[in-house]
Structures are given as structure tokens and as C-alpha cells.
Structure 1
Amino acid sequence: MTSLKDFKKLAKQVIDIEQQAIANLEQYIDDNFASACQMIFNATGRVIVIGMGKSGHIGGKIAATLASTGTPAFFVHPGEASHGDLGMITSEDVVLAISNSGRTNEVLAIMPVLKRIGCQIIAMTSDITSTLATLSDIHICINVPKEACPLGLAPTSSTTATLVMGDALAVALLNAKGFSADDFALSHPGGSLGKKLLLRLEDIMHRNERLPVVSKDATIKDALLEMSEKGLGMTAIVNNQGQLCGLFTDGDLRRILDTEVNIHRGSIGQVMTANPIVANPTMLAAQALKLMEDKSINGLIIVDENQIPIGAMNMHDILKAGVL
């Protein structure tokens, strides 16, 4: 009967074997790998990744990684390719054919058609003498010392090595293409990642009639009414030219309650925080979040180039937008 200790021991063995497989890959980052990168970089079409079984699953991930990092790519199942999907492939494309053995029948069956189409072919196999390797323009070796499966049958180390080699291709191409964080954001608009890279304060700030603002000559009572109505826990204070000159927050209110300031008659200009921290409308919401965390504040006034308040936002707006 297998014990808990045995489970942990076997799991650690798998990790050790797969780590060795990845380390073994370094010798295959050679001229063939560089030539494959150059071929893809120079291509006017897309990268078409094909593979069967576990290689197909890994190929789908490689295609997705390439596409999200600036190299247009998609996966084509070799079985479906034989029944019409070859029409997706053009002579401008580069085919990345994945097969650990290099002898997968479904992949080899479409090689003559790929040759006739005129696209360039990169093979990724563990055997440089395999049929797929010899039929391709460039071969990238993904040979591993052993599978992590104790039977030596289930693709484990080999699929891990293939995935890592695919990542190496994608990142090398990303760098060569000068792919930037802004480019990455355009292909990842959804979810928290996209919001961190794309969402700006102008997209979430309260503006116009929702912007809390009072004159520096207004009474403290008037400022409190403005804060209560707009519900942001603060109000901007402006001078006679409409420029920001101060800020009053819930925290400021708690502090003045311990003083003898007359809330009904006292001027907000007497108790405001002068020269508050501000932001511009094009600042990323993620940057604004870091600014508020660094300065231990809960909100920001957004001003234009003339220091006139045009928006306001607080930590709740960041949370609501899903940036965290």
C-alpha cells in the first residue's frame, strides 16, 4: 500500500527528472534554433502550429503564447487539416510541426501538401534522423534523457521540454520584434491583467456634476455637504481661477473636530490640505493605486495641464474596476 511519504517521494522524483530535462535543452539552443527564429521573424504570414495528441495540446499553448507576444499564430489539428483545414495555410506561413518521435502518421500525412503549398516548415522532435525532421527546412531538437513516467511511456518530460522550447521561441521573437508592454496590453484587454495595462484614470474617474469641488471661500459646512452629496469622502478646493489649491477629506474632518473651529462659519480654506497629491487623466489606474498605497491616501484629484480639477477617484473605484 502506498503511503503519504511515497506520494511525496514520487512527486519529487518527477520534478527532479523534469528539471533535468529542461536543463538538457540548453544544448539545443543552437544555430538551428536561431535560424528558426529568423525564419519566423522574416515571414510575412503567420505561424501554423500542428501536432497530434499530447504534442497537439502543447502546440495549442505554444500558438497562444506566440500570438499573445506579437507573433500571429494559431493551431491546426493535423487530422482536421486533412479534411479541409489545410485551406487555412498559405505559402507565406511558417508551419511549426511538433512530434516527439518525428513519426506521427497524421502529421506526416499532410507534409506533401504543405510542401506543395510552399510554406516553410520547422520541425520540433526528439530525433534528428526522424522522417519529420528530414522533411522539414529546420529541425529543433527537444530530446530528453528520460520521461518522468516510471513506465517510460506517458509523455511527461518530453511535453515539458517542448513547452519550454516553445516559450524560448516566443520570447526570443518578442525581443526581436521590439514588443512592448503596450503591445501586450492590446492583446490582453480582458481580466485584471488587461485592466492593469490599459485602464486609465480618465476611464473611471468621477467628472462633471459628480466631481466634488468647492471654492476656498466656502464654509466648512458647505464643503461637508458637497462631500456628502458626491460620496467620495473628499472635495477639491479651488481658487478664484478654478485651479486646485487644496483638498479636504474625511480624515481632515476628524482632525478638526478636536479643535475649536466653527464648522458653520469657518472657511474651508483655513483647514484644507494645501498642495495635495494629484494625478493626470492618462495615468494608469494601476499606477494610481501604487501612488495611493505609497502615500497612504484613499483618493486622488485629477487635474488638467492648468491645474483645474477635471475628475476625482478613490480606492473603491479601483476595486470596482477590477484592477486589484
Structure 2
Amino acid sequence: MLTGDSIPFSTIQATLREAIAEMDRHGLGVIVVVEPSGELAGIFTDGDLRRMIARGEPVFEQPLKAVMTPSPLHAMADTPAYDALNTMEHHQITVLPIIDQTRRVVGILHLHDILGKGAFKFNSAATDDRTH
């Protein structure tokens, strides 16, 4: 789970241009949108951006609030990892904001965090003795 300065944040008042710059700076393809109080307000992903471009929408002229997904799926800070993974799998998402009891964002869980950022292999002949 990413926490602190590793979380790609933007406030609800930001422009889409500012949000994309922050998304790019973190390299995750997602930006968590928060209220000035830090409470979760929405999420915006690179997929949302691709769909806007495909529809021919004016990208940079949009306020982030107008194009984000409001009230996104999330998990509580004490949610077990397997429950978070089930939520991600069921809804076919790769990123899940983590909030505390006051709805403040305390982290972001990326599918790669659960699967080990490349350490997890489905088929690895080098480590499977049954292939010889």
C-alpha cells in the first residue's frame, strides 16, 4: 500500500491539467481526489482520460470535479488484503483508495502491491521441477 507522499493526490478544485501532471509525476495512472479536509471525493484514472479523448471531449478545459468518478469504491484501513483484492477483482479495478473512519485518505492499494510488483509468476518454468 502506498502512503504519505507516495499517494497521487489532487484536490477537488484542481484543473484536469494539474491532475494529469500529478498523475504523471507518480506514474500510477490514477489520481485520488480529495476535499480540502482530506476526505475522499473521487478518483480519476488514465482510463477515464483515454475515454474522454476517444469521445473527442476537450480534455484540458475540464475541471477535475466534472470528470472524476465521485464516491469511488474504497476500503477501510483495517480491511484485510484478501477482502480488498476480492473487491478489486469483482469490480475489475486495479487501484483502491484506503480511508480511515473519518473518510480521510490514508493510502492507496494497487494490484501490484498485492501481487508483489513482478515477483509473482503464474507460469515459471525456471522454478517448476515438473517441467523436466
Normalised to the residue count of structure 2, the TM-score between the two structures is: 0.82
* Residues 207, 312 of structure 1: 8 Å contact kept: yes
Matched, 1:293 2:76: no
In the alignment, which residue of structure 2 is the partner of 1:311? 107
Counterpart of 2:25 in structure 1 is 229
| Residue 2 of structure 2: aligned partner | 206
**Which amino acid is 2:32 matched to?**
A
Where does the alignment leave 5 or more consecutive residues of structure 1 unmatched?
1-204
Partner Cα separation in structure 1 for residue 64 and residue 107 of structure 2:
20
Matches within 5 A, 1:1-324: 205-320=1-116
- State the 1:264 CA deviation: 2.7
Q: Distance in 1 between matches of 2:105 and 2:114?
A: 19
Contact preservation (8 Å) 1:301, 1:311: yes
Greater Rg, structure 1 or structure 2?
A: 1
Query: Structure 1 residue 230: deviation in Å?
Result: 1.5
Which structure has more RCO (C-alpha within 8 Å, separation ≥ 6)? 2
Is the 8 Å Cα contact of residues 212 and 227 (structure 1) preserved in structure 2? yes
User: Equivalents in 2 of 1:261, 1:217: separation in Å?
Assistant: 20
- Give the superposition deviation at 1:323: 8.3
Cα displacement string for residues 229-250 of structure 1 (whole angstroms, at most 9, x for unaligned residues): 1222211111232211110011
Letter in 1 for 2:12: K
Question: How far off its partner does 1:216 sit?
Answer: 1.1
Matches of 1:259 and 1:306, distance apart in 2 = 36
Q: Residues 222 and 235 (structure 1 numbering): CA distance in 2 closer, same or farther, change over 3 Å?
A: same
Distance 2:27 2:41 in 1: 21
Q: Counterparts of 1:261 and 1:304 in 2: how far apart (Å)?
A: 35
Judge conservation of contact 1:286–1:323 (CA < 8 Å) in 2. no
How many residues get paired? 120
SS at match of 2:54: coil
Change (3 A) 1:323 1:291: farther
Q: Which has the higher helix share?
A: 1
Identity percentage of aligned residues: 34
Superposed CA offset, 1:277-320 (max 9, x none): 01112212122111100111111000111111110121111111
Given the superposition, is the C-alpha separation of residues 323 and 277 from structure 1 closer, same or farther in structure 2, using an over 3 Å criterion? farther
Tell me, in whole angstroms, the C-alpha distance in 2 between the residues paired with 1:259 and 1:286: 36
Gap regions ≥5 residues in structure 2: 122-132
User: 1:260 Cα deviation (Å)?
Assistant: 4.5
> Could you report, residue by residue, the CA deviation over 1:119-143 in whole angstroms, capped at 9, with x for unpaired residues?
xxxxxxxxxxxxxxxxxxxxxxxxx
The residue type equivalent to 2:9 in the other structure is V
Moved more, 268-277 or 250-259: 250-259
Q: Read off the aligned partner of 2:98 and give its amino acid letter.
A: I
